[in-house]
Amino acid sequence: MIPDDLAQLFHEELRDLLDSLDRGLLDLRATPEDPALIDQVFRDLHTIKGNGAMFGFAELSGFVHGFETAFERIRSGAAKVTPEVIRLALRARDEIPGLLDGQAGTADARQALLSDLSAALSDGAAVHSATRVANPPSLGQQDARQTHWQTLQFALDGAAFDLGVRPDLILAELQTVGAVGFVAETDAIPDLAQLDPSVCHIVWTCDVPPGVGEEAIADVFMFAEATWTLVAKDPAPQAQPMPAAPAIDTADNPPTKTEAPSAPTPSAAPTVRVPAERLDALMDAVGELVIVEARLTELALNSQDAALLATAEQITRLANGLRDATMTLRMVPIRSLVGRFRRLVSELADHLGKPVNFVVQGEETELDKTLIEKLADPIVHLLRNALDHGVETAKDRQTAQKHSVATVTLSAAHEGTEVVVRIRDDGKGMDPAKIREKAVAMGLIAPEASLDRSQIFALIFAPGFSTASQVTEVSGRGVGMDVVKRTIEGLRGRIELTSEPGQGTEIALHMPLTLAIIDGLLVDVAGERYALPMGAVQEIVELPADKTNPDTTSDFLDVRGEFVPFLRLRAAFDCAGEAPRTQNVVIVSASGGKVGIVVDRIISTQQVVIKHMSKLHAHVRSISGATILGDGKVALILDTAQLITLGHHQAGSAGHARGAAA
Amino acid sequence: MSQGQNQRAPTRPQTMVTFSIGPQRLAVPATSLLEVMDPLPVTRVPGAGRLVPGVVNVRGSVVPFADLGAALGLPRGGDVANHRFVVVEVDVGGDLSTVVIHADAVHEVASLHPEAILTASASLSPWPAEFLLGLYKSGDGFVILPDLVQVFSTLAKKPSTPSSNGTTI
């Protein structure tokens, strides 16, 4: 049985490998002769095969082996990459996840796919010259290897059995390269009392036929920590690349080689895979540290002891550094999702017969890992919609005097305290009249209702709404936009939609950064303390004397000629007591607009560790989280986007009331 | 409810912690109890309603503070010096969550034999029966066994009663 954590690691790696395979195959379609890409694809396939075999997915590794064999023809330059090959290869790649969770198609279908693939590769049998440049092995080594049988001796390192290494599979794989005469040396096995069952104490030797190089052996040990030596039998002394050491049973033998459990791809920077919960634990610890640091600073300020103050200052600086470093660990560039989207768009464009140029901007934009995972499905949905409903056919585009290739853009960027992901198409746009008509027909709105443009567009997020007159395989069943909206709002994000008939549609997803620690502005409202994310704060002004009376109808503030609605937190939060004579207005802004928040007093700015509110408080809209202050008490963090909406809503209804009175 | 029935199932004696809210004695399984502590400052959550009115800092975690008495319709009372916070770990809507309950007094750890538990009938008991696992008789009168999973999962699903003037925040 595979331990759960290993199985999970395997699944995670497989997912990454499949993504990389996707990317490689799609890039290969654009540049079919790039040897580096061909190698990349080959390496991915090989790793998938090896991992699959190691974890006992025989069918998977068998299939991928066939896949890999077919691709070997390309790698060796015997065949060329054609769009057909890529198409079949992508289909073959899609079989892989099914083989893993037991939901695969029939073996016959897979076999047919492989035959198609090798047939497609034989068609383009013309050998192309741009073959890969192999690392030429040193001649002497090559000669000895080519002409002499070799002796391979190997031992598995470390807690091999704990790591899931299967010696039987390794032996079987060695047999496939032609190894014979296996001898297991059991001398090193200790007495039962000293036996560590996770360590493999057996050392094997076997004979490897001429022509099998170190590379082939290294491939066998790709997924096992093993120490091995490969020595040509009776080699010519001058041709021996390694120090002549026929007796290879000593542990400190120089020509040994240790392979990492999985060969890292040379192109990728070295990375460490860490379970997310360990990062969470680290973040929690840093959070505690920041809280203690705030407490220390408070104590130091009270004591006025110079040495203590200096130390506290130093701790603050160190804690800041640690906080920043830890936070970046959790951030993942949106690029990790993009491969999936490119594949989707390319296939959908083919399927719908609409030529589409997919542009990605801001791939490097980083988002919290959990957020990225949850955004994938909504984005897939929006891209599908853009291609299916937004983009016209090439013919229609020509009629409309547009470039025949449509452009769909996915962009991501940081804006204030938010990350905004935009999906834009230059298609036919949405027709407000048509949406309205449909909404009336569905009984969503009354025929005489007067709605402005944005209100009409908002209707498409109603459950069951779809304007596509024809339900297609891709979309148009009317499920989706409401789900997208729910998902985004569940993550405390917002959706904005803009559309011009004939010009296209843009959907913007405004997501909170959900950083675990932010710079906060601490304010006092009727003796209660609240924190505002500093990133959203624009400026702080004093509440004009003529506005201090809560009964004044015009809750607008004139900020250098701009009218900003404001919200009295005392009223919004049902605070008891009288407001002080002077109050401050904190003007916060997000892409949703600006609003002034009236508070009693500004306390300070400080680092705020965001703690999430429990499910029991999930319905409280204007609070985005909580934090622990230096004195150990809890302060709530205000949700600025919600407050802006609330402020504008209130200003709107006040305006209505005035209009009715007049 | 399934969770509640599971809690009723064991045939071996269960260790319970008893406490009071107003005149009523309650008992919760010691396995769901994390700790009992002196009252801490509660931060009010505007718009959260009276059943889960605030949050508390319990050893660096922000934990919701629940007024179990209000949920069960029990009056508060007792000497302030005896007031305690009972920290429990409960399944709330599918996630194991820590919740602080106000108790007017905490009494003892008692062993309770499952056969002693009586079913709270909806018509006879003065308490909302859907929130009770049952009750048993002790020297100090009836002790009720609140179904914490049910109480908190219900509170998480629907917003508790809105604040006095009905402002939705």
Portion of chain B with pLDDT greater than 70, in percent: 82
With CB atoms and an 8 Å threshold, state whether B64 touches A616.
yes
- DSSP one-letter code for B131: G
Q: What confidence tier does A114 reach under pLDDT thresholds 50, 70, 90?
A: confident
With CB atoms and an 8 Å threshold, state whether A620 touches B64.
no
With beta carbons under 8 A apart, name residues in chain B contacting A628.
57, 60, 62
Q: Is B93 within 8 Å of B157 (Cβ atoms)? A: yes
With beta carbons under 8 A apart, name residues in chain B contacting A622.
46-47, 169
Which site among B40, B42, B43 would you substitute to test the A interface, given the most A Cβ atoms closer than 10 Å to its Cβ?
A: B43
In terms of pLDDT, which residue wins out, B87 or A553? B87
Which tokens in the block code for residue A582?
Answer: 């002077």
Portion of chain A with pLDDT greater than 70, in percent: 82
Superfamily name with CATH number, domain B2-156: CheA-289, Domain 4 (2.40.50.180)
Q: How many C-beta atoms lie closer than 10 Å to residue B17's C-beta?
A: 21
Helix (H, G, I), strand (E, B) or coil at A82: coil
d(CA A227, CA A217): 11
Architecture of the A517-661 domain: Roll (2.30)
With CB atoms and an 8 Å threshold, state whether B47 touches A626.
no
Q: What confidence tier does A652 reach under pLDDT thresholds 50, 70, 90?
A: low
**Residues in chain B, overall count:** 169
In terms of pLDDT, which residue wins out, B71 or A129? B71
Q: What is the pLDDT of residues A222-280, one digit of tens each?
A: 777 788 888 877 644 444 444 444 444 444 444 434 444 444 344 456 777 788 778 87
Q: Is A233 within 8 Å of A148 (Cβ atoms)? A: yes
For chain B, domain boundaries:
2-156
Q: What confidence tier does A464 reach under pLDDT thresholds 50, 70, 90?
A: low
With CB atoms and an 8 Å threshold, state whether A614 touches B63.
yes
Query: How high does pLDDT run on average in chain A?
Result: 77
Which tokens in the block code for residue A291?
Answer: 């809280």
Q: How many C-beta atoms lie closer than 10 Å to residue B95's C-beta?
A: 10
Identity of the residue in B48, B56, B165 whose CB atom sits nearest the CB atom of A617: B48
Q: What confidence tier does B5 reach under pLDDT thresholds 50, 70, 90?
A: very low
Most confident stretch, A423-432, A477-486, A544-553: A423-432
Closest Cα of chain A to B85: distance in Å?
A: 16
Q: What is the pLDDT of residues A84-103, one digit of tens each?
A: 888 888 888 888 888 777 77
Which tokens in the block code for residue A570?
Answer: 């005392």
With CB atoms and an 8 Å threshold, state whether A574 touches B52.
no
With CB atoms and an 8 Å threshold, state whether A628 touches B57.
yes
Task: Determine how β-strand A584-590 pairs with β-strand B14-21.
Answer: unpaired
Closest residue in B to A632 (Cα–Cα):
B57
Helix (H, G, I), strand (E, B) or coil at A446: coil
B62 has which bridge partners? B57
| pLDDT for res A131 | 38
d(CA A97, CA A11): 10
Token look-up 């004979």 returns: A207
Q: What confidence tier does A288 reach under pLDDT thresholds 50, 70, 90?
A: confident
Q: What is the pLDDT of residues A524-549, one digit of tens each?
A: 999 999 999 887 888 999 888 877 77
Q: CATH number of the domain at A139-258, please? A: 3.30.70.260
Q: Is A347 within 8 Å of A26 (Cβ atoms)? A: no
| pLDDT for res B105 | 92
With CB atoms and an 8 Å threshold, state whether B45 touches A627.
no
A606 has which bridge partners? A520
For chain A, domain boundaries:
4-123, 139-258, 276-331, 334-512, 517-661
d(CA B37, CA A526): 28
Which site among A634, A637, A644 would you substitute to test the B interface, given the most B Cβ atoms closer than 10 Å to its Cβ?
A: A634
Asked whether the CA dihedral A460, A465, A469, A471 is positive or negative, the reply is positive
Helix (H, G, I), strand (E, B) or coil at A650: helix
Q: Taking chain B, what is the end-to-end CA distance rounded to the nearest angstrom? A: 31
Region class of A582: left (phi > 0), else alpha (psi between -120 and 50), else beta: beta
What string of H, E and C letters represents the secondary structure of A614-649? CHHHCCCCCEEEEEECCCCCEEEEECHHHHHHHHHH
Least confident of A365-374, B41-50, B124-133: B124-133
With b meaning 16 or more CB within 10 Å and e meaning fewer, what string describes A35-71?
eebbbbbbbbbbbbbbbbbbbebeebbbbbbbbbebb
Identity of the residue in B57, B97, B152 whose CB atom sits nearest the CB atom of A632: B57
The residue type found at A305 is D
Identity of the residue in B43, B63, B159 whose CB atom sits nearest the CB atom of A636: B43
In terms of pLDDT, which residue wins out, A423 or A439? A423
| pLDDT for res A553 | 54
Report helix angle A35-54 to A4-30, nearest 10. Answer: 160
Q: How many C-beta atoms lie closer than 10 Å to residue B124's C-beta?
A: 8
The reply to whether B37 touches chain A by the CB within 8 Å rule is no
The residue type found at A77 is G
| pLDDT for res B159 | 52
Q: Is A400 within 8 Å of A414 (Cβ atoms)? A: no
Question: How many Cα atoms sit within 13 Å of A462 on the Cβ side?
Answer: 18
The reply to whether B82 touches chain A by the CB within 8 Å rule is no
Which site among A292, A616, A620 would you substitute to test the B interface, given the most B Cβ atoms closer than 10 Å to its Cβ?
A: A616
Which helix (H) or strand (E) segment is A399 a member of? Answer: helix A394-399
pTM of the model: 0.51
Architecture of the A4-123 domain: Up-down Bundle (1.20)
Token look-up 């020297």 returns: B139
With CB atoms and an 8 Å threshold, state whether A622 touches B165.
no
Average pLDDT over residues A35-39: 82
With CB atoms and an 8 Å threshold, state whether A615 touches B97.
yes
Query: How high does pLDDT run on average in chain B?
Result: 81
Least confident of A6-20, A312-326, A353-367, B22-36: A6-20
Which residue, B166, B2, B29, is CA-closest to B111?
Answer: B29
Q: Is the per-residue pLDDT at A55 higher than 70?
A: yes
The reply to whether A617 touches chain B by the CB within 8 Å rule is yes
With CB atoms and an 8 Å threshold, state whether B52 touches A616.
yes
Fold assignment, A334-512 = Heat Shock Protein 90 (3.30.565)
What string of H, E and C letters represents the secondary structure of B63-101? EEEECHHHHHCCCCCCCHHHCEEEEEEEEECCEEEEEEE
| pLDDT for res A521 | 93
**Residue A335 CB partners (closer than 8 Å, separation 6+):** A363, A364
Q: What confidence tier does A126 reach under pLDDT thresholds 50, 70, 90?
A: very low
Which residue, A88, A227, A102, A116, is CA-closest to A170?
Answer: A227
Which residue, A16, A17, A61, is CA-closest to A41?
Answer: A17
Q: Is A59 within 8 Å of A113 (Cβ atoms)? A: no
